[in-house]
Amino acid sequence: MDLPGPYVLAVTPITAPLSAQAFTPIVGLNGMASVTLEAELQGGTGGSAVTVRVQSRIGSSGTWREIARFDFTGAAAKSCTIATGAASVAALTTLNADAVLQGFLGTDLQAVVTSTGTYAGTVLAVRAAVR
Amino acid sequence: MSRHRDALDRSLALKGESVILRRVVASGTATAAVDAPCLAFVRKGAGQEVSPGVGQRDYDVILSPTHIERAQWPGGLPVRSPPTEADPRIPVEGDQLIVQGRARLVRLATPTFIAGELVRIDLQVRG
């Protein structure tokens, strides 16, 4: 692929509630064959929920599609690995809590974060190792 | 890419020093960092003793935007409407530069644009 390596989809403090806050995308990942995603919520006190949706699209005019969803109530770290190669048709839809869509890897990745309640001393990091 | 940036990249590949550009995001005791490995020209400036036996030194550093763009540093930033961020490729005061294994604080970043293209970033760092 063109640009294998580690990327940061979002590193941000979480304080006031966020309503589907999108982060600027990592772009130009042409030929991406697999990606390991890691989401970590440090601190995690005060609020009640953080949801991270990782999305991918095919080219800058493509539609963002959810490929992974991580749900937190307090401090935790979660990961998943997504690879291309699914042989069957999959519906592109919103994901349930802590779910993954295998097989769909476009050229761009982004994180969208929603939080409920007011967190204190909390940092969210979402990283991707792209191959 | 401009010839100015090409020339800087070639020169850095021949004679540059490996450094890490780092942005640290913290809230309370929770911290996370975003790194970009870069090549740089690092020139020592004045040193001073900040307390008995403890010194710090200023450094003048030249970076190419090529390495920063390669890492897509500093990663995803909250999308604002309308956009309020300055050029995210340019380090800001408080970012860190790891030089020879030691974190030093960015005090000033001066970008150079030629014909609308970012071709070079000069940093003043201390630590």
* Whether B76 contacts chain A with CB within 8 A: yes
**Measured between beta carbons, which residues in chain A are less than 8 angstroms from residue B30?**
13, 42-43, 121-123
Question: pLDDT of A63-108, one tens digit each?
Answer: 999 999 999 999 999 999 999 876 778 888 999 999 999 999 999 9
Place of tokens 């999108």: A22
* The predicted structure's pLDDT at residue B80: 83
Contact B75 A8 (CB under 8 A): yes
Instruction: Look up the ipTM and state it.
Output: 0.88
Predicted pLDDT of residue B55: 75
Are A23 and B74 within 8 A, CB to CB? Answer: no
Look at A13 and B25 and tell me if their CB atoms are within 8 Å.
Answer: yes
Q: How far is A88 from chain B (nearest CA, A)?
A: 32
In percent, the amount of chain B with pLDDT more than 90 equals 80
On the question of pLDDT at A53 being above 80, the answer is: yes
**Tens-digit pLDDT profile for residues B7-32:** 999 999 999 999 999 999 999 999 99
Mark yes or no for CB contact A22/B31 under 8 Å: no
Q: Spell out which residues of chain B touch residue A57, defining contact as CB-CB under 8 Å.
A: none
Is B25 part of the contact surface with chain A (CB cutoff 8 Å)? Answer: yes
Cα A63 → chain centroid? 15
Q: Does B28 touch chain A (CB under 8 A)?
A: yes
Q: Taking CB atoms and an 8 Å cutoff, what residues of chain A touch B72?
A: 7-8, 26-27
Q: Do A123 and B27 touch (CB under 8 A)?
A: yes
Percent of chain B whose pLDDT exceeds 70: 95
Of the pLDDT bands very low, low, confident and very high (cuts 50, 70, 90), residue A32 is very high
pLDDT score of B36 more than 80: yes
In this prediction, residue B91 carries a pLDDT of 97
Average pLDDT over chain A reads 95
Per-residue model confidence (pLDDT) at position A117: 97
Q: Kindly list the distances between the CA atom of residue B53 and the CA atoms of B46, B48, B101, B102, B126, in Å, as whole numbers in the listed order.
A: 16, 10, 20, 17, 17
pLDDT at A48: 96
- Give the nearest chain B residue to A44 (CA atoms): B30
Which pLDDT does position A29 carry in this prediction?
96
Confidence of residue B86 (pLDDT cuts 50, 70, 90): confident
Contact A122 B30 (CB under 8 A): yes
Choose the mutation target among A7, A19, A24 for the interface with B, i.e. most B CBs under 10 Å.
Answer: A24
Confidence check: pLDDT of B48 > 80: no
Task: Encode chain A in three state secondary structure.
Answer: CCCCEEEEEEEEECCCCCCCEEECCECCCCCCCEEEEEEEEECCECCCEEEEEEEEECCCCCCCEEEEEEEECCCEEEEEEEECCCCCCCCCCCCCCCCECCCCCCCEEEEEEEEECCCECCEEEEEEEEC
Chain A contact for B30 (CB, 8 A cutoff): yes
Has residue B49 got a pLDDT over 90? no
Q: Which residue has better confidence, B54 or B93?
A: B93
* CB-CB neighbors (< 8 A) of A23 in chain B: 75-79
